[in-house]
Amino acid sequence: MSFLNIKIPKIKFKKMKIGNNILDELQYIDYEKLERKNVKNRNTPYEDMTHYKTVKDFFLKSIKEYSNNACILEKPSHKEPYKTFTYKQFGEDVLGLGTALVQMLDLKDKRVVIIGETQYEWYVSYMAMLCGVGIAVPTDKELPLNELTNIIVRSNASAIIYSKKLEGTVKKLKDKELGIKYYIQMKSSEELEENDVGLNYLIEEGKKIVQKGNDFFEKIEINPEEFKILFFTSGTTSNSKGVMLNNRNLAENINAVSAYVKLYPVDRLFSVLPLHHCYESTIGFLLPIATGASIAICEGLKYIVPNIQESSPTAILTVPLLVESLYKKINEKIVKSKKDKLINTLIAITNAVKKAGIDVKRKVFKEIYNNLGGNLRIIVSAAAPIDKKVGQWLEDIGITFLQGYGLTETAPIAALTPEYNPCVGSVGKAVVQADIKVEKPNENGEGEILIKSPTLMIGYYEDEVETKKAIDKEGYFHSGDIGYIDENGYIFITGRSKNVIVTQNGKNIYPEEIEMLLDKQDEIKDVMVYGKKPEEDSKKEEKELIITARVIPDYTKIEEIYGKLSAEEIYDVIWKKIKEVNKKLTSYKAVKSLEIKEGEFEKTSTMKIKRYKELSNK
């Protein structure tokens, strides 16, 4: 999965107050009044899974059925409490904006870039696009100007909906004269002036049109198969891939999750991941909308704990880095309070009584839950591998730990852990609509994971060659991931056959992109970029892969330019060139280590480096 660039700040929790007499309290619990979960050893999907065809199907249903329920919670400022937007208000705002975009700005069937930090207006904008405006192009707000420009040009965007914090960036885009017809600013009520307009102004004007009896936008019928969303897997260079999705892809994701996990109108998801990615915008946004649940927006990672405690979510969708940070900080508090042995004893006892169909974990571990808002019941981790002991510990204290698997190309869910039969360490089972198999398994049953699913993309944007490479004649998508499927259908990912480097927090780095820039340097003859594991004795807490360039210097060219140099001087010359290239890359893509290679890379007949052979010969 293509994911996020997250830097986790220091996380602080209150002192744990777990009492020493909790063991005595257990014998006085009235078990008959406790909720019994997973008494039945369920191995089949929920029979009442949904069967939506489009996003608009469940949007219109939810804004009517859950009209007065909380929909989105957002903090106007850090010192103010969460402000609640109901489904009624959300529905009116989406229909108002959609009406204005179509009838006032003539953006029907046009491409619109949506860029900015997570906020109420982002949700409204994206939903309006999916419900009948045109093609949404969700874009990473952290992209450098050149990468953002590339996406705007390649997508042939007619408008940009942007947050106020990006006002300076938008001004620079205007200077480039990219042919954008409208620049629409979130949280602005400015009237239309030339090509600038406030989003709130459009919403209100659209509402006026609707109130006069014009329901044109609401009545627009959505073709489930029509190209409606464009996600770029990487923003840099013309070689980045654009993933084309339709309404069916997204609706089938909702249907798929409903077979394995139950969300209810009382649930509240905590939104901490950026919305420009398919993972958060589909599972973190569209899924709760379909179920009548609410979404609480995190102000930023440094506010994650107070925001969780204030909003009291029941579910958090995240990546391993954040889950592991929460786990570490909570356990540090437990050890500091000298309750670690007690907790381990309580885990053993509560696991034993749970096997008898009685779940007392929420009562026993109440203080841990209180640090996480008091209501947390589900944590979903995806994008990258996670330490199995973290997932098991969450299960042991009563939080359902789920993992998902997929890519932007599968919009994104292809496999998911069933909540009624979890398997910590696995990325889940193929969703009920999908056919996932292992191609040419080795003696351990490992091979490339192939996926056939209604969540699978239409194809790569303006790239039929790459589309045919990725999806074979039988309709299977070649994921590039290496794994195996056990006898119960659980999928385990053991490696990656594609060249993509996946950071610990789930961000994808495409080495070819960096190699292309390094190849332009006269001093470099050939180069391979890969993610190197930190040394086992490294003092760093992070387990992050080190982006490494293995370089064959062009000794002839170096001598022409610099004269005769020693091995150390050649290393310094190459490193200087790498640092120059790093300035053109976003920080997480920067090369951090250099290796000088003697001899030549082993290559295929098409002159591609055999990466796995090269790495196995380190």
Task: Count the domains in the chain.
Answer: 3
- Give the Cα separation of 442 and 231 in Å (integer): 34
Strands 182-185 and 159-162: parallel
% of the chain beyond a pLDDT of 70:
88
Residue 17 is predicted with a pLDDT of 64
Q: Average pLDDT, whole number, for the chain?
A: 88
Is pLDDT above 80 for 2? no
Residue 12 is predicted with a pLDDT of 67
- Position 490 in a domain: yes
Does residue 236 contact residue 513 with C-beta atoms inside 8 Å?
yes
**Considering only CA atoms, which of 421, 450, 488 is closest in space to residue 259?**
421
pLDDT band of 499, cuts 50, 70, 90: low
Considering the domain architecture, whether residues 83 and 110 belong to the same structural domain is answered as: yes
566, burial (CB in 10 Å: exposed 0-12, middle 13-18, buried 19+) = exposed
Residue 561 sits in which domain range? Answer: 501-616
Top mean pLDDT of 142-151, 245-254, 299-308, 316-325 is at 245-254
- Position 271 in a domain: no
Contacts of 59 (CB under 8 A, 6+ apart): 91, 94, 127, 130, 131, 289
Q: What are residue 154's phi and psi, to 5 degrees? A: -65, -35
**Considering only CA atoms, which of 448, 573, 601 is closest in space to residue 515?**
601
SS3 of residue 524 by DSSP: strand
3-state SS track over 75-139: CCCCCCCCEEEEHHHHHHHHHHHHHHHHHCCCCCCCEEEEECCCCHHHHHHHHHHHCCCCEEEEE
- Position 304 in a domain: no
Considering the domain architecture, whether residues 529 and 482 belong to the same structural domain is answered as: no
Q: Other C-beta atoms within 10 Å of 51: how many?
A: 10
Last residue of a domain, one of 431, 465, 496: 496
- Position 206 in a domain: yes
Is pLDDT above 60 for 316? yes
**Considering only CA atoms, which of 483, 474, 407 is closest in space to residue 448?**
483
Considering the domain architecture, whether residues 409 and 556 belong to the same structural domain is answered as: no
Higher per-residue pLDDT: 336 or 54: 54
CATH number at residue 508: 3.30.300.30
Last residue of a domain, one of 449, 470, 496: 496
Higher per-residue pLDDT: 116 or 4: 116
- Give the Cα separation of 450 and 602 in Å (integer): 27
Higher per-residue pLDDT: 359 or 209: 209
3-state SS track over 211-268: HCCCCHHHHCCCCCCCEEEEEECCCCCCCCCEEEEEHHHHHHHHHHHHHHCCCCCCCE
Average pLDDT over residues 531-543: 64
Considering the domain architecture, whether residues 417 and 538 belong to the same structural domain is answered as: no
Q: Which two tokens stand for residue 480?
A: 């590039």
HSE of 389, CA atoms in CB hemisphere, 13 A: 3
SS3 of residue 550 by DSSP: strand
- Give the Cα separation of 551 and 526 in Å (integer): 6
Does residue 457 contact residue 431 with C-beta atoms inside 8 Å?
no
Is pLDDT above 50 for 1? no
CATH number at residue 457: 3.40.50.12780
Residue 185 is predicted with a pLDDT of 98
Q: Which two tokens stand for residue 351?
A: 């696991």
Is pLDDT above 70 for 4? no
The β-bridge partners of 593 are 548
pLDDT band of 533, cuts 50, 70, 90: confident
- Terminal alpha carbon distance of the chain: 27
602, burial (CB in 10 Å: exposed 0-12, middle 13-18, buried 19+) = exposed
Higher per-residue pLDDT: 442 or 176: 176
Considering the domain architecture, whether residues 480 and 556 belong to the same structural domain is answered as: no
Considering the domain architecture, whether residues 198 and 157 belong to the same structural domain is answered as: yes
Last residue of a domain, one of 454, 476, 496: 496
- Position 121 in a domain: yes
- Position 309 in a domain: no
Top mean pLDDT of 322-336, 390-404, 440-454, 603-617 is at 390-404
As a whole number of angstroms, the longest Cα–Cα distance in the chain is 85
Does residue 415 contact residue 448 with C-beta atoms inside 8 Å?
no
SS3 of residue 208 by DSSP: helix
Considering the domain architecture, whether residues 238 and 325 belong to the same structural domain is answered as: no
Average pLDDT over residues 165-169: 96
Higher per-residue pLDDT: 199 or 328: 199
Q: Other C-beta atoms within 10 Å of 354: how many?
A: 19
DSSP 581: H
Considering the domain architecture, whether residues 401 and 550 belong to the same structural domain is answered as: no
- Give the lowest-confidence range in 24-38, 335-349, 383-397, 580-594: 24-38
Q: Does residue 441 have a cis peptide bond before it, meaning omega lies within 30 degrees of 0? A: no
pLDDT band of 335, cuts 50, 70, 90: confident
DSSP 503: -
Residue 278 is predicted with a pLDDT of 93
**Considering only CA atoms, which of 255, 290, 261, 253 is closest in space to residue 127?**
290
pLDDT band of 617, cuts 50, 70, 90: low
DSSP 424: B
- 373-427 confidence digits (pLDDT tens): 999 999 999 876 687 889 999 999 999 999 999 999 999 999 999 999 989 989 9
Considering the domain architecture, whether residues 385 and 529 belong to the same structural domain is answered as: no
Contacts of 553 (CB under 8 A, 6+ apart): 523, 524, 525, 570, 573, 574, 596
DSSP 533: P
DSSP 471: B
Does residue 210 contact residue 99 with C-beta atoms inside 8 Å?
yes
% of the chain beyond a pLDDT of 90:
68
Residue 426 is predicted with a pLDDT of 93
The β-bridge partners of 198 are 185
Does residue 586 contact residue 565 with C-beta atoms inside 8 Å?
no
Q: Which residue has the tokens 């002839």?
A: 556
Is pLDDT above 60 for 574? yes
- 9-50 confidence digits (pLDDT tens): 566 666 666 655 555 545 544 433 433 333 234 467 888 899
- Position 485 in a domain: yes
64, burial (CB in 10 Å: exposed 0-12, middle 13-18, buried 19+) = exposed
H-type alpha helices, 536-585: 555-562, 567-582
Considering the domain architecture, whether residues 445 and 507 belong to the same structural domain is answered as: no
Q: What are residue 367's phi and psi, to 5 degrees? A: -65, -35
SS3 of residue 577 by DSSP: helix
Considering the domain architecture, whether residues 545 and 406 belong to the same structural domain is answered as: no
Higher per-residue pLDDT: 250 or 9: 250
Average pLDDT over residues 547-568: 94
**Cα 510 to Cα 382, 385, 402, 615, distances in angstroms:** 19, 18, 27, 17
**Considering only CA atoms, which of 617, 523, 499 is closest in space to residue 572?**
523
Residue 611 is predicted with a pLDDT of 77
Q: Which residue has the tokens 């704990």?
A: 305
Q: Which two tokens stand for residue 13?
A: 């929790």
Average pLDDT over residues 239-259: 93
CATH number at residue 130: 3.40.50.980
The β-bridge partners of 595 are 550
Considering the domain architecture, whether residues 475 and 549 belong to the same structural domain is answered as: no
Radius of gyration of the chain (CA): 26
- Give the Cα separation of 130 and 228 in Å (integer): 7
Contacts of 324 (CB under 8 A, 6+ apart): 386, 387, 390
Residue 485 is predicted with a pLDDT of 96
- Position 8 in a domain: no
Residue 536 is predicted with a pLDDT of 52
